[in-house]
Amino acid sequence: MAADRENLTVYFNGEFVPWADAKVHVFTPAVKYGAGVFEGICAYPTENGMSIFRLQEHLARLEYSQRVMRFERIYTADELTGPVIEVVKRNGFQETVHVRPTVYVDGDGEAGALGPIGVCVTAVQKKRPEFTAKGCRVQVSSWQRISDLAMPTRVKAHANYNNSRFAVTQARTDGYDTALLLNAKGHVAEGPAMCFFMVRDGKVVTPSITSSILESITRDTILQLCRDELGMEPVERDIDRSELYAADEAFFCGTAWEVTPITHIDGHALGSGAPGQVSRDLQTAYFDLVEGRVADTRGWHTPV
């Protein structure tokens, strides 16, 4: 994979440079303390060429993340729109790619997690994993989702993802595909880097945005697709752990995870133990939307 990236171009502190030249020092606060924020954005091939999905919403959240982190210099959505589009364009991608704008604390690290601000935009090919089709097996983690009183859960901060790493590492060690975290109140929060939905008694249910979750842009997309494409009004509320085993079906969503069905939780089969119909219908609606097979009536596509 590393060899495949040698010819890629990266936007790095105002310049477009070869992949190998986009470097920071090991002593920077970004490396030492995880003092950085990022976005994950997908660009998809459509019949009209490459298109970036919900670019402006992602960059607006990145701007918010920087403000919460109190960075000395804020890179606005307007400033980064051009570099993101240009990175996708310059690399000549013809397949789905994962674009990652990153803003981080640079410098020599002597001032702790303070210092000058750096920025970069990378884009790499995104392959769809097998369990997008067949579904995944999930473990409710013994690790608790971080509290918004400890770390800002609405911010895509690098350091936050250590919480996710602990959960997914435990799950894979124990023979599962991934994890599901509970919050400090014992309610369902989210997966490592993806939001959770379940279908119970004919209703689509997801944790509320006050459940120590990221205010996910893909989650918002799914909520709208539930209403507009499936004619189902989703419910946002607390979800207890024991409810999970009564669910008829469930799925994760996120930029990287797209819409991924869940077939088992803690070894309990959901429904028949295969991806459910609502999950499949939403997956189809989502792929049709992001890959440009239906009209973009909401203005969510940015052409490259």
The one catalytic residue in 23, 127, 134, 156 is 156
| Residue 86, amino acid | E
Length of the chain, in residues? 304
Active site residue 156: yes
DSSP 132-146: HHH-EEEEE-SSPPP
Q: For residue 302, report the phi and psi dihedrals to the nearest 5 degrees.
A: -110, 110
Specify whether the backbone of 186 is left (phi greater than 0), alpha (psi in -120 to 50) or beta. left
CA distance linking residue 216 with residue 193, whole number of Å: 9
Beta bridge partners of 235: 205
Cα dihedral value 48, 54, 58, 60, nearest 10 = 110
CA distance linking residue 161 with residue 194, whole number of Å: 11
CA distance linking residue 203 with residue 300, whole number of Å: 26
Contact by Cβ (8 Å): 121, 83 = yes
Q: How are beta strands 15-18 and 41-46 bridged, if at all?
A: unpaired
Q: What SS3 class is residue 219?
A: helix
Question: Who's near 68: CB < 8 A, 6+ residues apart?
Answer: 152, 154, 155
**Catalytic site residues?**
156
